[in-house]
Each structure stands twice: as C-alpha cells, then as structure tokens.
Amino acid sequence: MGFPERFGPFLLLDRLGAGGMGTAYLAQHPDASDLLVVKRLHRELLTDRTAFARFVHEAEAASHLEHPHVARLVAMGTVDDEPFLATEFVFGIPWATLV
C-alpha cells in the first residue's frame, strides 16, 4: 500500500503504528484543517465477532471521554463494512522512542 491512500472521506498520509487489534494512520479529512489519527481494525479480524465487538466497545468508550490529556474522538463508523475510529492527532515523541 502506498501513501497517500483514500479511506472513505479520509486521506491516509502515513502509517503510525500497529497493535494487536488495529493499525493507526496519520490522516486528513476534507472538512477539517487539523491532522487526525484513523485506527482501522486489522483485516484478518473483520470476521472475528469478539474482536469486532471489542473494537466497537473501544470506540464507544472513547466517545465518553473528555480530558485535556486524552486525544478526543472525532468520528467512528465503517467504510465498506470496515470499522474505524478517528481521533485528534497530538504531536509528540512516540512512547517507544522515549523508552
């Protein structure tokens, strides 16, 4: 996959990292001037009902958080049956670099 890549209304600019459930991308939305982070569930987990439910639960929980030290959830949904969540991008040094 090359960047930039279109994902629904988002333009994915770069891969930021991956975890057990999904991959995070630096992204832009045409209606927003700020950068975002879009997290997508790993393709191999799309048919795993438990993983899908956990991803949705994460997005729902994030929608109730509001704190100056937590990235704000700005969108969640699906693109072609693939769930995603989008948060504000907070510039900083990656945790792995600090450790």
Residue 55: both structure tokens together: 């991803």
What is the reported pLDDT for 88?
93
Task: List, for residues 1-54, the tens digit of each pLDDT value.
Answer: 689 999 999 999 999 999 999 999 999 999 888 999 999 999 999 999 999 899
Sign of the C-alpha dihedral computed for residues 88, 93, 98 and 99 taken in this order: positive
Task: Tell me the H-state helices in 1-99.
Answer: 49-62, 95-98
What is the reported pLDDT for 99?
82
Residue carrying structure tokens 């987990």: 45
What is the reported pLDDT for 91?
87
Distance CA 56, CA 53 (A): 5
What is the reported pLDDT for 76?
92
Please name the amino acid found at residue 59: A
Sign of the C-alpha dihedral computed for residues 32, 35, 41 and 42 taken in this order: positive
Overall pTM > 0.75: yes
Distance CA 15, CA 21 (A): 15
Task: List, for residues 55-97, the tens digit of each pLDDT value.
Answer: 989 888 988 999 888 889 999 999 998 999 999 998 888 777 8
What is the reported pLDDT for 18?
93
What is the reported pLDDT for 1?
64
